[in-house]
A and B are shown apart, each in its own frame.
Chain A
Amino acid sequence: MPSWEDFQPFIVTGLALGGVYALSGVGMVVLYRATGVLYLAFGAVGAFGALISWQLINSSHLNQWLAYLICVLFAGVVTLLYGMVFGPVLARRDPLVKATATLGLTLILLGAMDLLWPSSGGQSRAITLPTDNSGFMVGQVQVTWTDVIGLAVGVVMTAVTGAFLRFTKLGTTMRAMANDREITATLGVPVRRVEAAAWFGCGILSGIAGILLGDLVALDPTTLTFLVISSLAAALIARLRSITLTFLAAIVIGLVDSCITPIQSLTNYRDMTPFVLAAIGLLWVNRHRTISVTRQGV
């Protein structure tokens, strides 16, 4: 069993990752509440954007901040387009159908990424934010500014979103729509505009997450795409409802996942963490349901 000192760097990474998971989780929860769509393509979109940035930085030698901005905008626009095209079409369907549709988008993006950026053996791509190289010491541990940003975006996003939903007009509208889109529409609320805002916002967040995870973890299409599972796990534990709970769950997932790494006997299984936690969360949260009298299935 590793010592406290051995764990420390992993705690730092865990917090950083947890923060990004929180960012993603909050984005997905808000979008779900506003549109009923569980955006499973979140990771794929962010990955695509991150790869675009990489391409621009490394091949076109574009200014990196510009490249990152493009990534974020790209993710926002793609998500917005998806939402505007497929949102209304599937608006009345079961959440399951809506979520499955986003899997379609995921496949399209995965296929495109594998085409455009094939994993030809040996060549590994990476995103290196300038903040990777500077940091400070907390006791024995090295903390980079990237780590700080990771955690910070999570905290900030949770707080800002919470306030936004509660105090702004757009925010309360989104909360109303979460309850009933049709009724909200009849009240004269510009439903489509609000939805567009939710979609775009979520896309922006996925772009940011894509860059940070591309830096902190790996710039690999499959890895980044399926990292969404960690954020998804957090969102599910929060029953796709509470922003605060999403944040807390995300931090815990990030910490547990990371801190398992130094434990020899478990380290090979660390990738299981989000899956296991999500499964437990799902079952625990639904333990009281007797009958699932669903509407007609798919």
Chain B
Amino acid sequence: MSSVDAERPARDAPEASGSPGGSAPAPGGLAGLDLRDLLKPAIIAVLLLFVLVGLPQLFTLYYIDASTQVAVYAIVALGLGLLVGRVGMVSLGQAAVLSLGAWVAARLLFGTGLPFEVVLLASGVITMVLGTLVGLPALRLSGLYLALITLMLAGAITVVLATTNFPNGGHGFLGYNGNSVHIPPIRRPGIATTDPAFFRYSVIVAVIMFLLVLVHLRGKPGRAWVSIRQSESAALAAGINTTMYKLWAFALASFITGVAGGLLAGADKYLYSINFQTQDSITLLAVVLMGGVFSMWGAIIAAILMQFFPALLQNLGVSPDWLTILFGVGVLQVLATAPAGIVEQFPKDMARLYRLITRGRRRADPSVEASS
């Protein structure tokens, strides 16, 4: 599966270029440096503008809803990508974390009059706390066992959810009223009650989450994560508290997933536990692997695969189960062809394209390497 991360590799992929004190100017390449630095943000700005303004005009409500789901799941995919790509931890339970966030948000939205933004923050924080609590004992497990325990915990949450259900305006801690005939919808923020408006709202929240992660990646945690990924012993020998940084990744991923859960509550308006299955966590991992764990664009692609394509297919009368099969094949392909690990899997043609684009820059400064 290709990911549109042509220029991403060197910029925000595994490295963090924020060395304190500023970077040494590339000799003779000053002009090239400025242009390239401006080009990427410009492209992103244009794309964002199009998505916010253009899409709602172009799409029918059906597809706008699907797009809102894409925004939500892009955040979740970002979190999972962070865990898998940066820290090397595979979580098979992110869908359960999402459902936790959605549950908290629904409860707060029904039970309190708090503004939507505060609720988002609260679901993010509460999910983060729970995620970290879980992460703490789980972190001493490595690789396979860690993945399995996330599967187990997610499964347990799924079962509990099937019994407690999502809040629907009832009273008590669980806020679930099993007898009510008329179930109120979950409320949305005042400024974004219509579907197109809520879509824009979700995109903006997503952008904020992406920026939050970006800030981490460019700074000290990002560098620490890169080190831990390559060699935990080297990281420890350099004084990095690997447990703390792993927990930090867990916490960050849980936080943004919790916020995404809040968005989901507002998007769906009615939450049913049947929509949060163990299989979804596996599908999520599949699309994140296919989209590319190492780039933020990959998260968006993953979300499109998981949420937009099924809607598209359904509209065309094709069963979305074909996609499930595709995702399975995708997982196998990604894992089988990744040379030294998923983290180094960049689509080869994209990398070549990138090298072509930067060939000019490289001629000016031979020490800058176009990554592949």
**Do A and B interact with each other, yes or no?**
yes
Q: Is B300 an interface residue (CB 8 A)?
A: no
When the two chains form their complex, are residues B331 and A292 in contact, meaning their CB atoms are under 8 A apart? no
Contact, CB under 8 Å: A105 / B156? no
Chain A residues, CB < 8 A from B229: 296-297
Q: Which residue on chain B has the smallest CB distance to residue A290?
A: B140
A92 to chain B, nearest CB (A): 10
Please indicate the chain A residues that have their CB under 8 angstroms from the CB of B291 in the complex.
none
Given the complex, which residues of A lie within 8 Å of B277, measured CB to CB? 222
A115 touches B322 (CB 8 A): yes
Across the two chains, which residue of chain B brings its CB closest to A36? B144
Residues of chain B within 8 A of A224, CB atoms compared:
none
Question: CA separation between A61 and B236, bound complex, in Å?
Answer: 65
Interface assignment of B244: CB less than 8 Å from any CB of chain A? no
Q: List 21 A-B contacts (CB under 8 A).
A: A97-B342, A100-B90, A104-B286, A104-B329, A104-B335, A105-B328, A108-B329, A109-B328, A111-B328, A118-B319, A222-B279, A229-B151, A269-B160, A272-B160, A276-B152, A283-B137, A286-B141, A292-B139, A292-B143, A297-B143, A298-B293
Interface size class of A (residues with CB under 8 A): 35 or more
Q: Which of A250-295 contact B (CB under 8 A)?
A: 268-269, 271-272, 274-276, 278-279, 282-283, 286-287, 289-294
Cross-chain contact A282 with B145 (CB below 8 angstroms): yes
Q: Which residues does chain B contribute within 8 Å of A176, judged by CB atoms?
A: none
A80 within 8 Å of B by Cβ?
Answer: no
A298 near B84: Cβ-Cβ < 8 Å: yes
Within 8 A of A (CB), among B60-89: 84, 87-89
A96 CB within 8 Å of chain B: yes
Return chain A residues, CB-CB under 8 Å to B92: 103
Task: Summarize A's interface: helix, strand, loop or mixed.
Answer: helix
B219 at interface by CB-CB < 8 Å: no
B285: interface (CB < 8 Å): yes
Please measure, in the bound complex, the distance between the C-alpha atom of A274 and the C-alpha atom of B144, giving whole angstroms. 18
Interface residues in A14-64 by Cβ distance below 8 A to B read: 38
CB-CB nearest 9 A-B residue pairs: A297-B88, A111-B324, A104-B331, A107-B328, A108-B328, A292-B142, A111-B325, A96-B143, A268-B163
A279 x B143 contact (CB < 8 A)? no
Chain A positions 192 through 210: 1 when the CB is less than 8 Å from some CB of chain B, otherwise 0: 0000000000000000000
Q: Does B330 have its Cβ within 8 Å of any Cβ on chain A? A: yes
B148 touches A94 (CB 8 A): no
Q: Give the most central of B283, B319, B336: most A CB within 10 Å.
A: B336
B159 contacts A275, C-beta separation under 8 Å? yes
Interface centre among A86, A100, A286 (most CB of B within 10 A): A100
A86 to B286, CA, bound (A): 17
A292 near B279 with CB under 8 A, answer: no
Total contacts A-B at CB 8 Å: 175
Query: Do A298 and B341 contact each other (CB < 8 Å), given the known contacts A272-B155, A275-B155?
Result: yes
Which residues of A are found within 8 Å of B329, using beta-carbon distances?
Answer: 104, 108
Is A231's CB within 8 Å of the partner chain B?
A: no
B residues 320-372 near A (Cβ < 8 Å) are 321-332, 335-336, 340-343
A236 touches B148 (CB 8 A): yes
Q: Please determine whether B322 and A289 come into contact, CB atoms closer than 8 angstroms.
A: no
- Evaluate contact between B159 and A269: CB separation under 8 angstroms: yes
Asked if A99 lies at the interface with its beta carbon under 8 angstroms from chain B, I say: yes
Cβ distance A162 to chain B, nearest Cβ, rounded Å: 24
- A289: which B residues are within 8 A, CB to CB? 140-142
Residues of B near A89 (CB, < 8 A) are 336
| Distance between A221 CB and nearest chain B CB, rounded to angstroms | 10
A226-B278, A283-B149, A286-B141 known; A86+B163 contact, CB < 8 A: no
Does B197 touch A at the CB level, under 8 Å? no
Cα–Cα distance between A78 and B283 once the two chains are bound (Å): 21
Q: How far is the CA of A124 from the CA of B144 in the complex (A)?
A: 36
